[in-house]
Amino acid sequence: MRDVYRPLTRKKHALVVVLAALTFATIWLGMAYRPGSALATPRAPPPDAARCVAGQTTGCVGGMAAVIAVPAAASAAPAKAR
């Protein structure tokens, strides 16, 4: 016995179109408004903040921050040939 091809009814066709549109909108909104990302733009420094002069590293806008880094692990010694 062969299965006879039956096209989608108007209701099912409309459901497929609506689901496709909702999927498109969800993906587009997910890319446009990335979840978890900061929405606010960073604020500019106040106009009275002093800019760094050559050689100055602290107490000014654009100064350097102290960073504590863990030193790299020592490499393993090469295997001795017997």
- Flag whether pLDDT at 36 surpasses 90: no
40 and 29 in contact (C-beta within 8 Å)? no
Length of the chain in residues, anyone?
82
SS (H, E, C) 29-73: HHHHCCCCCCCCCCCCCCCCCCECCCCCCCCCECCCCCCCCCCCC
What is the tens place of the pLDDT at every residue in 38-72?
Answer: 666 777 766 666 667 777 766 676 666 677 787 77
Question: CA 19, CA 12: separation in Å to the nearest integer?
Answer: 10
Each domain of the chain, given as residue ranges in start order, spans: 7-34
What is the average per-residue pLDDT within 18-24?
98
